[in-house]
């Protein structure tokens, strides 16, 4: 009697993944996009149009401000200050530092997207929340220890 | 062009930035938001501006901007986003926040 209830749910949960998994690249990306997980992929066919220009600008500015304030007075900024003060060639230092920062943020964004395509939205939200909490603790630590 | 200096600043900044909080923030923001492009350009622009200010103003940056206060505000902002994600959006699978 008691066994009958867990068994069906287990069966269903086992049946669920194949719905997505057996699809190979062309249809797979399409399906992910339909699920609302990855709205904006590199493929032109995926519905990047779903995201309005305004929303995109909003995401841009919220990212810009959060990362900008997080980065102010950070060790990276201090490092670039020191190198440029020592070398007397601020533009060269800026180009080098700028290229490095673009590379690391590209890596970060790609890693985030890769993780997002791998885990369920639920897990992703918890992970994102945890990461943001860690970032905020690191920032507070900076404020306290400065 | 001083290639040694260029390489030195690239490697130093790249290594000190790997796994740093701004990269963590970029990972978190990109995983949870719908436009990869917007997050990337936002993050890159913010980092470029921050390092531009650092390079050009040198130590003067702390006099122009009260960095401690700005950071405290940022910390609160990140905490609010985190709490909202962790506690208030469990029922909605796709959030458009952040």
Residue A82: count of CB within 10 angstroms of its CB: 15
The answer as to whether B47 is a domain residue is: yes
Task: Give me the pLDDT at residue B61, please.
Answer: 62
Q: What range defines the domain where residue A4 resides?
A: 1-50
Q: A73 CB near a chain B CB, below 8 Å? A: yes
- Is the domain of A14 the same as that of A27? yes
pLDDT band at B71 (very low <50, low <70, confident <90, very high): confident
Task: Give me the pLDDT at residue B58, please.
Answer: 65
How far is A23 from chain B, CA to nearest CA, in Å?
Answer: 22
Q: What range defines the domain where residue B71 resides?
A: 3-88
The count of structural domains within chain A is 2
Task: Give me the pLDDT at residue B53, please.
Answer: 83
Are the C-beta atoms of B77 and B71 separated by less than 8 Å?
no
Q: A36 CB near a chain B CB, below 8 Å? A: yes
Complex ipTM: 0.75
How far is B14 from chain A, CA to nearest CA, in Å?
Answer: 5
Residue predicted with more confidence, B71 or A10 = B71
pLDDT at B93 over 80: no
The answer as to whether B64 is a domain residue is: yes
- Is the domain of A45 the same as that of A79? no
Residue predicted with more confidence, A102 or B98 = A102
- Residues of chain A in contact with residue B2, where contact means CB-CB under 8 angstroms, are 87, 89, 92
Of A79, A56, A86, the closest CA to residue B10 belongs to A79
- Is the domain of A84 the same as that of A41? no
Identify which of B7, B48, B85 has the shortest CB distance to residue A128: B85
Please compute the mean of the pLDDT values over residues A123-140 and round it to a whole number. 88
- Is the domain of A36 the same as that of A66? no
pLDDT at B27 over 70: yes
Mean confidence (pLDDT) of chain A: 71
CB contact under 8 A, B29 and A66: yes
Are the C-beta atoms of A102 and B14 separated by less than 8 Å?
no
CB contact under 8 A, A90 and B29: no
Task: Give the residue from A72, A103, A117, A121 with the most B CB atoms within 10 Å of its CB, the best one to mutate.
Answer: A72
- Is the domain of A105 the same as that of A123? yes
The count of structural domains within chain B is 1
Are the C-beta atoms of A74 and A143 separated by less than 8 Å?
no
Q: pLDDT over 70 for what percent of chain A?
A: 65
Task: Give the residue from A29, A37, A54, A66 with the most B CB atoms within 10 Å of its CB, the best one to mutate.
Answer: A66
Identify which of A48, A101, A129 has the shortest CB distance to residue B44: A101
- Is the domain of A11 the same as that of A66? no
- Is the domain of A42 the same as that of A60? no
d(CA A32, CA B31): 14
d(CA A130, CA A125): 8
- Is the domain of A65 the same as that of A2? no
The answer as to whether B97 is a domain residue is: no
d(CA B95, CA A126): 12
- Is the domain of A33 the same as that of A91? no
- Is the domain of A63 the same as that of A135? yes
Please compute the mean of the pLDDT values over residues A43-67 and round it to a whole number. 74
How far is A52 from chain B, CA to nearest CA, in Å?
Answer: 10
- Is the domain of A43 the same as that of A73? no
How far is B85 from chain A, CA to nearest CA, in Å?
Answer: 5
- Is the domain of A86 the same as that of A31? no
């Amino acid at each position: 009697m008691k066994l009958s209830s867990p068994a069906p749910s287990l069966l269903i949960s086992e049946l669920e993944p194949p719905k997505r998994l057996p699809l190979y690249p062309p249809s797979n990306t399409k399906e992910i996009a339909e699920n609302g997980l990855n709205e904006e992929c590199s493929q032109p066919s995926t519905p990047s149009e779903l995201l309005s220009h305004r929303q995109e600008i909003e995401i841009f500015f919220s990212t810009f401000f959060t990362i900008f304030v997080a980065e102010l007075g950070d060790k990276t900024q201090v490092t670039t200050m020191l190198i440029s003060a020592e070398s007397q060639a601020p533009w060269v230092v800026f180009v080098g530092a700028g290229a490095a920062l673009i590379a690391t943020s590209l890596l970060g964004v790609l890693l985030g997207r890769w993780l997002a395509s791998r885990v369920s939205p639920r897990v992703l939200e918890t992970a994102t929340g945890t990461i943001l909490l860690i970032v905020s603790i690191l920032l507070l630590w900076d404020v306290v220890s400065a | 062009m001083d290639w040694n200096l260029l390489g030195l600043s690239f490697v130093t900044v790249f290594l000190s930035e790997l796994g740093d909080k701004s990269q963590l923030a970029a990972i978190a923001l990109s995983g949870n938001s719908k436009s990869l492009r917007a997050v990337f350009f936002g993050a890159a622009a913010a980092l470029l501006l921050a390092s531009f200010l650092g390079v050009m103003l040198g130590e003067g940056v702390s006099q122009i901007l009260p960095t401690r206060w700005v950071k405290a505000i940022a910390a609160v902002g990140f905490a609010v986003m985190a709490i909202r994600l962790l506690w208030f959006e469990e029922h909605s699978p796709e959030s458009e926040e952040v």
